[in-house]
Amino acid sequence: MKQMVHDKFINLLGKSSCPTEACLAVLEGEYTTSQMKEAVSSIGRKRDANNIPILLKYAKHFNPEVSMQAIRGLLVFKTDNRVSEFLTSLVEHPNEMIRDIIHKETRGPSNQENRDHSTCPEFLKNTLVQGDTLHILDYVPKDSIHLTFTSPPYYNAREYSTYSSYSEYLDLLEATFKKLIHVTKEGRFFVLSTSPVIIPRAGRKYSSRRYPVPFDIHARLMEIGWEFIDDIVWVKPEKSAKNRISNFNTHRKPLTYKPNSCTEYLMVYRKKSHNLLDWNLKQYNEEITAQSLVDDSFSRSNVWQIAPRSSKVHSAVFPIELCRQVIKLYSFKNDLVFDPFAGSGTLAVAAIELDRHYFMTEKCEQYVDAISERLSSNSLFPKSLRRYNTNEFKQKISVNGISNNDGAS
């Protein structure tokens, strides 16, 4: 029969004063995960090398919450050969949180901490490059971008985006966003706006197909090294959605329900970093921080109700209010914000309004011309647009003597 622990010892769990015998009784008894964690915590807090065998045992516990607590206790003794050897063996641990702890504790010092995190290359500021973003990113200096907000081309749902297969489409996005990690500053954010896409049926005897783009690309982003932070649901007025419900509304037959789709997902990711967000915040002086504080227009929930916007030039444009919210929430004044699929250039308009710098790439010459006209003709935007094609941009990089392996100066 398992030994029961007196209430007075239960109340001491988590404190170094809890007797080791009582902690072991909890660990071997039928107690909650929380109590077991606190029991291990008590043993760790004693900082007694005689307890290393106990901590090593429970660092192998099947419950990751218990094992992580034991690992924390062992870190005090990481110069001990037994502990050092054990911690090294956890580098490929199946639990991702344990792997992160071990990686952080065993990595060398970050070279990021010697760089000015708040700056970016001068020649990228307020720049628009016409060309394939996948190619252009090869020439963008490492650790240059503070924030990326984009909506990639729809999969075979618009005249400007045609791909031979869904796999090819996802492969292109994955390759682009993998390169984006390299040019993004440590611990900074990437916000991706996507939605499921419907491809019409090829004929009456065939069915249409709906592709879950946000969910399929999410798995790939996690695999290549982005850290998932939040999901925001952008809700549009129903009248703006394509009518899918009309047939069902007429006959009301079960199995045929297809609601009008009036949402998109804003998936928020962070470049993986062993530094907490506090480190990012400390990279800005008090004046810039004060000037970047978010006003009362932010949403308290992850459901944002913002009307879409139409354009004669581009069939799918960002509403400027959506760009404003993302920029205010995920960047500081004077930061560099990036849109690799610039479209109509709305991100640049919002960036200038909010005293940020923009960098954009866009493949379609028609859209690049429209962006240039939009920004150059508006007297509210005193910051001059620098427009290049891919070759001109490569020459600019060469003139500035910065390679893709270099950081911001």
Q: What is the pLDDT of residue 298?
A: 93
The residues, ordered by sequence, that sit 6+ positions from 213 with a Cβ below 8 Å of its Cβ are 155, 194, 195, 196, 197
Q: Which residue has the tokens 């109590």?
A: 35
CA distance 357 to 304: 25
Strand partners, 231: 267
| β-bridge mates for residue 264, sequence order | 234
Q: How far is the CA of 109 from the CAs of 141, 236, 255, in angstroms? A: 21, 46, 58
- Confidence (pLDDT) at 409: 37
Provide the Cα torsion 200, 309, 192, 354; round to 10°. 170
Per-residue pLDDT at 379 = 58
SS3 187: strand
Residue 401 has pLDDT above 80, yes or no: no
Angle 107-108-112 from CA coordinates, rounded to 5°: 110
User: Does residue 141 have a pLDDT over 80?
Assistant: yes
The first and second tokens of residue 88, run together, are: 């090294």
Compute and round to an integer the Cα radius of gyration of the chain. Answer: 26
The pLDDT tens digits of the residues spanning 219-259 come to: 999 999 999 999 999 999 888 888 889 989 999 999 989 89
Q: pLDDT above 90 covers what percent of the chain?
A: 69
Handedness of CA 140, 125, 345, 367 (dihedral sign): negative
Report d(CA 186, CA 190) in Å as an integer: 12
pLDDT tens across 94-124, in order? 998 898 888 888 765 555 554 689 999 999 9
Do the Cβ atoms of 372 and 349 come closer than 8 Å?
no
346, with CB counted inside 10 A (0-12, 13-18, 19+), is: buried
Domains and CATH numbers, the chain: 7-106 (no CATH), 113-400 (3.40.50.150)
